[in-house]
Chain A
């Protein structure tokens, strides 16, 4: 307390004396130096002691990721044009953050589940804690536009209603600004009471932790006496003169909190072309920081004449310096020549440039960082400087207390130092409202965005079918090791916990480990199709007949027709014939695949098989043995009897192999739905199947490899038919891993198309993971695709196909980005396997973002989905090299 006698004490006493000398009759009110300039908040307007009225607006988030350059330029120009319309006004930009509403998200997720698994409550609690730990917050971007002045505080005190009367007079001006702010490029709406409350709370408690909840406001009017709501308990102090930080303390959630706060300011800028250089909006770059920040920018949008005169004055100074140097016979510095040229360009731009976009601005950009300790604060300041290097210099000026006060609405500019002058189009490229926005707020958490900013990604896989009437087909692309299995497995795990039944086709085997997870073990089953009953993969049983109960006059699809009953019956007949045709096509493809390539592709084989299939009805009760019977009939009646005999022999030989028995039943199979119906997660594995390597041409396939292709093909149909056994409106999931092999034949492409086409009707989320997006395009799936995940993709054709599925224009430089996803850490295998995987995610509603899937946060899931050989397996392989021949994907070494 002895410090009271120092300069501070002196200033306080002097001020007190000043107020006391106002006269003996006046009440002796001591005005604290911390008093706000703000006196009233009326709706979205703030009024200061000097009578300055400012209207505050909240900007809508803007998307930036994966826009084309033309789109990006258009957005910048729109933003700049809106700002240019504010000529003659002062603009106060404030960016602050709201904590991510984790509790609200968890409640929405809980409400959206139907019949979850017994471990759901614990799972939800863990997820809530995990998401709450992530440094995630919603960005709130406020633009405060100076409207004009009303009479000073003394008049306000005489008549309290005077403020509102005068504000009504400003209404016309406010309406004009409202219109400008709601235009494209800003999409701003007037701030509501809760928005103003949040802005004031975060500005006065600068740097303090955000309150957990915003308080509902009974009214949108605050008078001077109400401002204590925000200021009570908050203390600001500078530790010493010329200190590089201030201390802010206040109460948060019942605890006293103190933060060190430093205000930095933008210095000289030399920005590259945006977006052509790959750099995003320059103020939005702050979102890449892993810690919270506050931004305050005071900007004057200048009148062309005023700005022009100032430029001329600067040019005069340059000319004078030029002649002064010449006068003394001294070589003028090169900078003078450069400045002279720039001055002429600017002068020309102002007088003859594009209307609006040549408007000049002068702005002061302050960034406040806070931390609980000085060491952390210094570290954050360094990271901020690094983030903007080398395009923008970040200065750390003195006068921190006054600089920090600029963040509070209504406070004046502390000093004119560090003014940045620029045309409005450069300011337009600041775009502070740009953020990453993808997914929804009611689904499980997949990860976070890792593009322009870090935001949580919540995605409810059934949202698109249930609310948007969209399809449920998701394509997951990426080269080997890009994390496709990890992503699909993660979706599968989270939604299985939600109670959604899943059927997974796993050609290579490792996904079965999901069924061993503690949470899922009692409710899941891994089935190896290779050891199933004979006839399990009978192609005629894969496609069920359409359910006649759906073809009624009450079905909304037929209700609008002239005669709904007849229309429904015609549709039933069409679908029945379609099912019959697909069964025969599937059987023909499968039997052809079982033949040696030279036989399968011959004209005689095609003719004989076509004739044989003419003898098969194509009902669900048929089997490939009926095709052999058909071949016998062809053998007796056709000119190709010898060839038919040869085919019979080949197919009968194939039917005797273990794989063939699964396709050729000894007798008509019954209903094996009992295998899958009561499990929530069923993984059909084809472990032991020797799939041919991709680069091996079909002519060189061995017998086992040749038989493996139809097996996998039929297994996919089988998996699909199992999921469709459930109620049509029930949420369901189907994941076909390694789906690239299906598009090689007609029935495979039909399977993929059917999966996409029926997903909406059956409320099914179908995940197709494949290495090349071309597979999905060739199969004609483009129109059925709802969402797309693209992991690391190399090869120009695959990249082009991926971009086409993402609906991103080619040639904007995103091809290289796809190749650079999930970059490998050289020389560190362990870190490589553990690194989070990156994907480009298109959520089906036109939004595309780069996202990161962190698996390490759920170790059990990570262990289940890590497809790299485990340590113990690797040591086994080193001891016995032959072991590696039977492990790994598709039995390949």
Chain B
């Protein structure tokens, strides 16, 4: 029996080549634009809050936004969308931290050798 999967159908790379009659010199996915715009808005809000709305802070900020966008977008794949990425980060941050940080290890000498007890 043939074993089909519909995965291929959902692996469409939606790219934005530019506005009509103007082709951008680079190809980027719509998700990259979404991340970039979100980060830019966040940057502008931050600069406004800390009162640094000047040319150079904005220029450096934009460089940082482009760098961050390039770092984030590879994690957005056909299998993992932007929302699931955010959800995963949120899940990881909320997870209880390692019990090993609270545990106490006692090494005890016994008649049969060395025994280690770990109290959690």
Complex partner residue of B87 from A73, A235, A314, A415, CB under 8 angstroms: A415
In the bound complex, CA of A240 to CA of B98 (Å): 7
- Tell me if A325 counts as interface (CB < 8 A to partner B): yes
Q: Which of B18-53 contact A (CB under 8 A)?
A: 18, 20, 23
Q: How many residues of A contact B (CB 8 A)?
A: 76
- Tell me if A352 counts as interface (CB < 8 A to partner B): no
Contact B88 A342 (CB under 8 A): no
Q: Which of B54-111 contact A (CB under 8 A)?
A: 79-81, 83-85, 87-89, 91-102
Contact A33 B93 (CB under 8 A): no
Total residue contacts A-B, CB cutoff 8 A? 173
Complex partner residue of A237 from B89, B91, B99, CB under 8 angstroms: B99
What residue of chain B has the Cβ atom nearest to residue A402's Cβ? B91
Assuming the contacts A237-B98, A415-B84, asked whether A314 and B9 have C-beta atoms less than 8 A apart, the reply is: yes
CB distance from B10 to the nearest CB of A (A): 6
Contact A270 B5 (CB under 8 A): yes
Interface string of A264-285 (1 = CB under 8 A from B): 0001111111111000001000
Assuming the contacts A237-B99, A416-B81, asked whether A422 and B92 have C-beta atoms less than 8 A apart, the reply is: no
* Residue of B6, B87, B97, B101 with highest tally of chain A CB at under 10 A: B6
CB distance from A118 to the nearest CB of B (A): 34
Residues of A in contact with B (beta carbons under 8 Å apart):
1, 3, 6-8, 11, 33-34, 73, 76-77, 235-242, 246-247, 249, 256, 258, 267-276, 282, 311, 314, 317-318, 320-321, 324-325, 327-330, 333, 335-336, 338-339, 342-343, 346, 360, 395, 397-402, 414-423, 425-426, 429
Instruction: For B15, list chain A residues within 8 Å (CB).
Output: 321, 324
Known: A239-B97, A258-B118. 19 other contacts (CB 8 A): A6-B97, A7-B93, A11-B94, A238-B92, A238-B95, A247-B99, A274-B1, A321-B13, A324-B15, A325-B17, A330-B17, A336-B12, A339-B11, A343-B9, A402-B92, A415-B84, A416-B81, A422-B4, A422-B6
Complex partner residue of A249 from B14, B79, B94, B99, CB under 8 angstroms: B99
Contact A267 B97 (CB under 8 A): no
Contact B20 A342 (CB under 8 A): no
In the bound complex, CA of A401 to CA of B11 (Å): 27
* Residue of B7, B18, B97 with highest tally of chain A CB at under 10 A: B97
Q: List, sorted by A's number, 14 A–B pairs whose CB atoms are closer than 8 Å.
A: A8-B96, A239-B100, A247-B98, A268-B7, A282-B3, A321-B12, A321-B13, A324-B15, A328-B17, A335-B11, A398-B88, A402-B88, A415-B87, A423-B4
What residue of chain B has the Cβ atom nearest to residue A272's Cβ? B3
Instruction: For B101, list chain A residues within 8 Å (CB).
Output: 3
Contact B120 A249 (CB under 8 A): yes
Instruction: For B8, list chain A residues within 8 Å (CB).
Output: 338-339, 342
Instruction: For B84, list chain A residues within 8 Å (CB).
Output: 415-417
Complex partner residue of B92 from A73, A317, A336, A398, CB under 8 angstroms: A398
- Tell me if B2 counts as interface (CB < 8 A to partner A): yes
Contact A342 B1 (CB under 8 A): no
A-B CB proximity, top 3 nearest: A401-B95, A271-B3, A402-B91
Contact A238 B97 (CB under 8 A): yes
Contact B23 A401 (CB under 8 A): no
Assuming the contacts A330-B23, A416-B81, asked whether A318 and B96 have C-beta atoms less than 8 A apart, the reply is: no
In the bound complex, CA of A325 to CA of B99 (Å): 53
Contact B12 A237 (CB under 8 A): no
Complex partner residue of A425 from B1, B18, B23, B92, CB under 8 angstroms: B1
Complex partner residue of B95 from A246, A314, A321, CB under 8 angstroms: A246
Contact count band on B:
35 or more
CB distance from A250 to the nearest CB of B (A): 10
Contact A235 B88 (CB under 8 A): no
Instruction: For B80, list chain A residues within 8 Å (CB).
Output: 397, 415, 417-418
Contact A417 B6 (CB under 8 A): no
Instruction: For B23, list chain A residues within 8 Å (CB).
Output: 328-330
CB distance from A402 to the nearest CB of B (A): 4
What residue of chain B has the Cβ atom nearest to residue A265's Cβ? B79
In the bound complex, CA of A398 to CA of B6 (Å): 24
Instruction: For A275, list chain B residues within 8 Å (CB).
Output: 1
Instruction: For A247, list chain B residues within 8 Å (CB).
Output: 98-100
Contact A8 B97 (CB under 8 A): yes
Contact A317 B3 (CB under 8 A): no
Instruction: For B98, list chain A residues within 8 Å (CB).
Output: 237-240, 247
In the bound complex, CA of A269 to CA of B11 (Å): 12
CB distance from A259 to the nearest CB of B (A): 12
Instruction: For A320, list chain B residues within 8 Å (CB).
Output: 14
Contact A237 B97 (CB under 8 A): yes
